[in-house]
Every structure is written in C-alpha cells, then in structure tokens.
Amino acid sequence: MQVQSASATGARRSQPITLVSLTDALEAPGFVMGFGRNEEIFGEEQPADFVYRVVTGAVRTGRILRDGRRQITGFFLPGDVFGLELGELHRSGAEAVCEAEVALVRRSALKLSATGDGLAAHELWTLTAEALDRTETHLMLLGCKTAAERLASFLLAMAERCSGRGRVVDLPMCRQDIADYLGLTIETVSRSFSQLERERLIELPSSRAVMIRRWEALSALATAEDLQSAA
C-alpha cells in the first residue's frame, strides 16, 4: 500500500547541510511565515519540502474525498510540529484555522537519508510515533464512540493542550472543523454542545469559549467508563 521506499531514500540529498536537530531548526529565527484564516499552507499530494511548526494561532490537517467529504486528521497549536512526511509528497493538506504564524525547516536539512545521524533520526521517529498514537486514539473515537462521547473527548483534549488546565477553553476552530474532525455533521456537533450544557457538564459563555464545569463527569463520558467517583 505504500510507495515509499524508492522515493524516500532516493532523491533529496543534494546539499549535505550540517546535521541539525529538528527542534533547534524550528526554533531558529528567520523562517517564519504568516497565514490568514483558512489559507492553505500546503495541499494534499504537494511536494513535502518542508516541515512545519506552529508559532502562534492554529492549524488543521486533513484529507478530502472527491465528492467533498472531508476528514480533519489533526489540529495543531503553538509548539506542535506538522507536515513531516516519509515520502516526497504530503498525504494530507494543511490550512490555517485562524491567523497563524508557522516556522519552516527545509526537509533536506534534516538528513532523512539512511545515513543521517542518530539524534535527528530519533527525533523524527519520536514525532511520528507520537502522531501515530494520537491517530490511533482518534481511530478509536471514530470507530466506537457516540456523538456526545466524541465531543467530550475533544473538549478534554483541547482543555489539556491549550488552557494549561484553566477552566475556560477558547476554541480557535468553527463548528464545521470540529464536525469534520469528529466525523459528525455541524448540526450534531451543535446539538451535542447544547446537550452537554443542559446536563451541566460545560457552560458556553460564547460559542467559541467552553467552560468545563464537571471535569470528571466529562472525562467519564469521554472514556466510556462507568461514572462514579470525582477527582
């Protein structure tokens, strides 16, 4: 199913740049680009010449089917790396969810070839393995969970990531993005928000701001445990 081997090890090592840590490279100044709301950062099947890291704002990655059905595979917040590929082409597209600044590193500077150094290679592997774990968790969500459970999982994940466990989470993305991420429609997402609010698990000061009122109950719903104790 993969077409990687030939292309992956073949080309793209024209300039033997000094070995560079991905993290270091992405933190070096100078390669930062700004993107407007909904602006494309790279498209599906486009050459994967860069690896990206969110500096400010938020980014989404996803794939679309011919008839327009879209699956968002991930949201990326400041500090997150995205766009790292094994092959020569991006398998997913990426767009800015809102105004965003993104740092870039040339892929060729990363020594992806088989002879690259251990440090950078290990770093790449770590990033990819973490992405794999997230994606498998997401798979579980799409394959097994109900609409309310999906939304609960999503809100908890966002809360843990962006608000430093503060009580109010500010969602950078619209309902449609959430729907495409959770494998639901915009209407079902909205209804699930309302349901969680009715049940006093969350509060919605505005449609983009979510206050988590009962963390443990939301967590129980998200993980499909039996709900008993508080934490």
Partner DNA sequence: CGAGCGTTTGAACAGCGTCAAAACAAGTGG
Partner DNA sequence: CCACTTGTTTTGACGCTGTTCAAACGCTCG
**CA 20/CA 96 separation, integer angstroms:** 27
Residue 83: helix, strand or coil by DSSP?
coil
Cβ distance 95 to 54 under 8 Å? Answer: no
- Residue 176 binds a second copy, judged by CB under 8 A: no
- Residue 11 binds a second copy, judged by CB under 8 A: no
Cβ distance 193 to 171 under 8 Å? Answer: no
- Residue 91 binds DNA, judged by CB under 7 A: no
By CB under 8 A, which span of 30-38, 40-48, 119-127, 204-212 interacts with a second copy? 119-127
Starting at the edge strand that comes first in sequence, how are the strands of the sheet with 202-206 ordered?
Answer: 168-170, 209-212, 202-206
CB of 54 to DNA, least distance (A): 20
Matching residue, tokens 């962006």: 162
Cβ distance 96 to 77 under 8 Å? Answer: no
- Residue 20 binds DNA, judged by CB under 7 A: no
Question: Which positions from 192 through 221 interact with a second copy, judged by CB under 8 A?
Answer: none
Matching residue, tokens 């770590």: 126
Binding mask 73-112 for a second copy (x = CB under 8 A): x-----------xx----xx-------------------x
Cβ distance 155 to 219 under 8 Å? Answer: no
| Site residues (vs DNA, CB under 7 A) | 146-148, 174-176, 183-191, 193-194, 204, 206-208
| Site residues (vs a second copy, CB under 8 A) | 1-2, 4-5, 8, 63, 65-67, 69-71, 73, 85-86, 91-92, 112-119, 121-122, 124-126, 128-140, 142-145, 157, 160-161, 180, 182-183, 223-226
